[in-house]
Amino acid sequence: MVVALTVAGPRPLVLCADDYGLSPGVDQGILELLAAGRLSAVSCMTATPRWPEAAAQLLPWRDRVDIGLHLTLTDQEPAGSAPILAPAGRLPSLGRLARALLVDRWARAEAAEQLDRQLASFERALGRPPDHIDGHQHAHALPGIRGAVIAAAWRLGARRRVYLRSTWESPFAILRRGGERRKALVLALIGRGLHRQAARAGVPSNDSFRGATTFAPGPGCREEFRRFFAGPGTRPLVMCHPGRVDAELAARDPLTGRREDELRYFASPGFLHDLAEAGVYLARFDGTPVGAHDPAAAPSPP
């Protein structure tokens, strides 16, 4: 008797570059990777002063990869006035934000207003709702704002299917993977509530999350991503932070040198080898594969 064996093929994996719009160097690095077919999603900071210019550069890719909102409620300027969260024109640290959202209903209302403004800025620039919503420093998953995020995704779903980034992953999978376990476990704990509430509301989200790292620059970058590409999940999502360092980035964000390490890795032949070895391919959330694109052949902005 002959027994037929079914061999599982490669699995889709969403690789999402965060912080688009933060600085010219970050944007340049992400655009280079998009042109090479090395990313399948981008998350955008729409409250930054350079967002309109950055959005114009992103238009040719808006139907080729997932482009979403990187909700910004910490450490940057707000979208418009925010007298409670940003009385001096700068949003609070993550710890201060989390405390304010727990105890101050006016802070919660102001955070929801920031969400609405940043979504509106996204739509004005790109002409459609985002494919997904996530958060700078994962603030979108905090109690006090996650309900508004889920409601926004559900509401936008009437026009375009919007998914949420879940930072939940099984603690067993985190411990087995190794690496920066403590941060990954904290993110899983923070994200568990959003993951469950989104499922109850019928809002889709990834079923496995990777990307927690020390952000230390150096040769360890590749090994970390090799671990992230392996593991369970039918809809895994890996966050990343590639980019080029410039003066504006250095003035706005402490994460610098590691961005260039990630950029070099994703542009290298070793990255493609690591994907194949892990049995995954870059894809949008719906499973559509992402291929290399010639920027000269990209569609003209409407």
Active site amino acids: 18
User: Chain centroid to CA 10: how far?
Assistant: 22
List the Cα angle 257/93/208 in 5-degree steps.
70
Question: Are the C-beta atoms of residues 14 and 283 closer than 8 Å to each other?
Answer: yes
Nearest-angstrom CA–CA distance, 39 and 66: 9
Using the 8-state DSSP alphabet, how is residue 215 labeled?
-
Task: Give the type of residue at 256.
Answer: T
Nearest-angstrom CA–CA distance, 40 and 63: 11
Nearest-angstrom CA–CA distance, 34 and 240: 13
Nearest-angstrom CA–CA distance, 291 and 64: 9
Nearest-angstrom CA–CA distance, 18 and 185: 20
Nearest-angstrom CA–CA distance, 88 and 91: 8
Nearest-angstrom CA–CA distance, 260 and 28: 11
Task: Classify 102 as helix, strand or coil.
Answer: helix
Question: Are the C-beta atoms of residues 210 and 237 closer than 8 Å to each other?
Answer: yes
Closest CA to 198 of 148, 135, 237: 148
User: Chain centroid to CA 223: how far?
Assistant: 20
